């Protein structure tokens, strides 16, 4: 169907979300410019051994390293479930590719580069170009100020009908607030700056958190460290509890305080002498370039108000966000959100009125509060990502999520929980893999 209106759209970021947004916007007939401060596509998946000089990321003026990948990282979702619907993430057996079902991070970067090549997205991207300001002018257009790296004195101001923010949310560390941490003599680091286990040789390490990264990193560090103590809310018993299969990993309740004598006190009175605290405590949403005159705020990690995690009601559809939710399969959700945004911008799909959208947002926030969900979990989609995706699919008139993908996502989540050491190499859902490849074959042929 020809577009009703073609818009000038700025996409900020050329990670997976930005690539997918650019693809769908152009397919709809819009004119797209993608701004990317790195010199290649891929965002998070561009591994670097560089780390930030402030290891816990509290200094607002620190030089930023975007990616939080560690060297050994393999995906925590099988490639079929991660896959974009339009461009299957099939195993390639050529020399430099990693055909494993849960591949290493380089394979994901290669996949995203292939996607960008397939749909000629690179030609839309301005590399080495950082967006320093986005604001709405009096004529309603969005003014985007960008700076080309190496030419920092020259910025460029341009006007767009719409801006799609695709800047990711795994760069700005959240750290645990530990009483006494400022006077504790040991080292502290956030997982954002973790790359390899060697610096932890013979150390006593306290890891805070129980995310997928915490699980992987604790096992890796235990191979060289003297002791690893994992502190999390989910461990509440007072007994010493070592992790089955490991002699030097201990499950502890939350840290109560860090003490000047170098010790760490856990709840229920247990105390150890430790060398390093590693915060695996997640990330903060941050949009330092975005000036919406207070309309969109980040409050306790809630980006809002946003209709369906995408549109601020009073600025819709001219400002939108792709990729805010977590505890999801991100790539396919980027496709749903991007198709929706592209169709709304052209006028092919309609949105409710700003008042109706705002009422929907308020009802959503009220339901979270009534269920005791903390504000900082606003974008946590545990249990309803597919319902959400299918709702968007209905708006777009597109096919809903494949049944095999839903089941495969659940199987992977269970495997990760029950068999964290082996789930990437042993599984029982070959029937779903078969169904996925049947779909992929239709897609490719």
User: Which residues here bind ligand FAD, judged by CB under 6 A?
Assistant: 12-18, 35-38, 43-45, 66, 68-69, 75-77, 82, 130-131, 166-168, 170, 213, 289, 323, 329-331
Residues sharing a CB contact under 8 Å with residue 288, sequence separation 6 or more, in sequence order: none
Report strand pairing: 276-279 vs 187-190. Answer: parallel
Which is nearer to ligand FAD, 43 or 312 (by Cβ)? 43
Which is nearer to ligand FAD, 33 or 82 (by Cβ)? 82
Contacts for 407-411: CB closer than 8 Å, 24+ residues apart: 407/432, 408/78, 408/80, 408/81, 408/432, 408/433, 408/436, 409/77, 409/81, 409/329
Q: How far apart are CA 361 and CA 377, in angstroms?
A: 15
Q: How far apart are CA 153 and CA 319, in angstroms?
A: 28
| Alpha carbon separation from 110 to 21, 105, 249, 372, 436 (Å, rounded) | 18, 9, 35, 41, 20
Smallest separation, CB 24 to ligand FAD (Å):
14
Smallest separation, CB 267 to ligand FAD (Å):
28
Which is nearer to ligand FAD, 134 or 277 (by Cβ)? 134
Which is nearer to ligand FAD, 62 or 268 (by Cβ)? 62
Cite the beta strand spans of 112-226 per DSSP E.
Answer: 125-126, 129-136, 142-148, 155-160, 162-165, 172-173, 187-190, 204-208
Residues sharing a CB contact under 8 Å with residue 384, sequence separation 6 or more, in sequence order: none
Which is nearer to ligand FAD, 13 or 305 (by Cβ)? 13
For residue 29, the tally of other CB atoms under 10 A from its CB is 17
Which is nearer to ligand FAD, 184 or 289 (by Cβ)? 289
Structure tokens at 286: 């941050």
Q: How far apart are CA 356 and CA 351, in angstroms?
A: 9
Smallest separation, CB 433 to ligand FAD (Å):
17
What is the CA angle 387-392-398, rounded to 5? 110
Which is nearer to ligand FAD, 290 or 345 (by Cβ)? 290
| Residue written as token pair 């390899």 | 196
Smallest separation, CB 414 to ligand FAD (Å):
16
Supply the DSSP string of 75-142, one letter for each residue.
Answer: -SS-HHHHS-SSS------STT----SS-BHHHHHHHHHHHHHHTT-GGGEETTEEEEEEEE-TTSPE
Smallest separation, CB 16 to ligand FAD (Å):
4
Smallest separation, CB 239 to ligand FAD (Å):
31
Smallest separation, CB 314 to ligand FAD (Å):
23
Smallest separation, CB 112 to ligand FAD (Å):
8
Which is nearer to ligand FAD, 323 or 415 (by Cβ)? 323
Which is nearer to ligand FAD, 81 or 258 (by Cβ)? 81
Report strand pairing: 31-35 vs 8-12. Answer: parallel
Smallest separation, CB 69 to ligand FAD (Å):
6
């Amino acid at each position: 169907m020809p577009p009703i209106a073609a818009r000038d759209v700025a996409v900020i970021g050329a990670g997976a979300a930005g690539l997918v947004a650019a693809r769908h916007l152009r397919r709809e007939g819009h004119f797209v410019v993608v701004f990317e401060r790195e010199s290649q596509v891929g965002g998070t998946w561009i591994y670097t051994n560089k780390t930030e000089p402030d290891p816990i990321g509290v200094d607002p003026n620190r030089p930023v390293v975007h990616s939080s990948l560690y060297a050994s990282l393999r995906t925590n979702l099988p490639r079929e479930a991660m896959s974009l619907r339009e461009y299957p993430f099939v195993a390639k057996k050529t020399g430099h590719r990693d055909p494993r079902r849960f591949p290493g991070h380089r394979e994901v970067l290669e996949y995203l580069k292939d996607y960008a090549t397939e749909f000629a997205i690179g030609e839309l991207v301005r590399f080495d170009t950082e967006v320093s300001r986005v604001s709405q002018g009096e004529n309603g257009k969005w003014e985007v100020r960008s700076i080309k790296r190496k030419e920092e004195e020259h910025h460029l101001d341009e006007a767009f009908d719409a801006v799609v923010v695709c800047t990711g949310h795994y760069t700005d560390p959240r750290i645990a607030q530990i009483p006494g941490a400022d006077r504790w003599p040991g080292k502290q680091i956030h997982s954002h700056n973790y790359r390899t286990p060697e610096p932890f040789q013979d150390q006593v390490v306290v890891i805070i958190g129980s995310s997928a990264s915490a699980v992987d990193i604790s096992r890796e560090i235990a191979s060289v460290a003297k002791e690893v103590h994992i502190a999390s809310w989910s461990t509440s018993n007072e007994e010493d509890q070592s992790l089955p299969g490991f002699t030097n990993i201990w499950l502890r309740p939350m840290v109560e305080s860090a003490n000047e004598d170098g010790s760490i006190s856990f709840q229920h009175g247990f105390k150890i002498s430790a060398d390093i605290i590693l915060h695996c405590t997640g990330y903060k949403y941050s949009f330092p370039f975005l000036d919406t005159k207070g309309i969109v705020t980040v409050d306790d990690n809630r980006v809002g108000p946003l209709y369906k995690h995408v549109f601020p009601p009073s600025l819709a559809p001219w400002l939108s966000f792709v990729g805010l939710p977590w505890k999801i399969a991100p790539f396919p959700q980027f496709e749903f959100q991007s198709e929706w945004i592209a169709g709304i911008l052209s006028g092919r799909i309609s949105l409710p009125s700003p008042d109706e959208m705002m009422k929907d947002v308020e009802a959503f926030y009220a339901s979270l509060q009534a269920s005791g969900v903390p504000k900082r979990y606003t974008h946590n989609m545990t249990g309803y990502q597919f319902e959400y995706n299918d709702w968007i699919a209905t708006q777009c008139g597109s096919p809903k999520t494949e049944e095999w993908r839903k089941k495969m996502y659940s199987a992977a989540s269970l495997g990760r929980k029950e068999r964290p050491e082996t789930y990437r190499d042993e599984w029982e859902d070959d029937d779903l893999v078969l169904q996925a490849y049947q779909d992929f074959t239709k897609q490719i042929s």
